[in-house]
Amino acid sequence: MILSILALVVVACMFIVFGFIAYDHILVAGVPFRRLREATIHEILKSMRLKEGVVLYDLGCGDGRVLIEAAKLQPKGRYIGVERAFVPYMLAKYRTKNYKSITIQRKNVLAHSFEDADIVFVYLMPALLTKLLPKFKQSIKNHKTVISVQFQIPGQSHQKRQLLTHRSQFAKDWYVY
């Protein structure tokens, strides 16, 4: 009897975990949770030469690794991560808890304002980049920097395209707008 109840609890827990994973992977804006390698992030941010007082937004911040690397490279900045999916959001909150310069917000990037950003970092699918296009155009018009990893922002001409030294299956280059 106890083994049956225990087995039932284990199966129920598995369904809950797999439900969160499926929700995060399939349903949240059609954007899978793909992490960039830390060496890739370091390469991009180091070449950006983050200045003291920089305000950097990571839209779809996942587990917060871009923000953590930015805070390590320039401790005197302000770093805001926006993540809609529950599991990556919780990972980001946990991983960044010791960084006072990092804030993680659980919001939809489409409804979020990033007008105060100096740099906007994105590693998002083209369909979502297209939906964000009006905000990107405004940022670029206001002389803000937008960095997009792997995918070009549709309808925008980039200032620079860089091939990554630390490539992965899902990230081979990045664009500066």
- Tens digits of residue pLDDT in 29-76: 556 677 898 999 999 999 999 999 999 999 999 999 999 999 999 999
Name which residue leads in pLDDT, 139 or 53.
Answer: 53
**Share of residues in the chain with pLDDT > 90 (%):** 71
pTM value surpassing 0.85: no
DSSP string, 33-95: --PPPHHHHHHHHHHHTPPTT-EEEEET-TTSHHHHHHHHH-TTSEEEEE--SHHHHHHHHHH
pLDDT at 9 over 90: no
Task: Look up the CATH number of domain 38-176.
Answer: 3.40.50.150
Q: What is the pLDDT of residues 84-105, one digit of tens each?
A: 999 999 999 999 999 999 999 9
pLDDT of residue 6: 61
> How many C-beta neighbours within 10 Å does residue 100 have?
10
For 140, phi and psi rounded to 5 degrees? -65, -40
**Share of residues in the chain with pLDDT > 70 (%):** 82
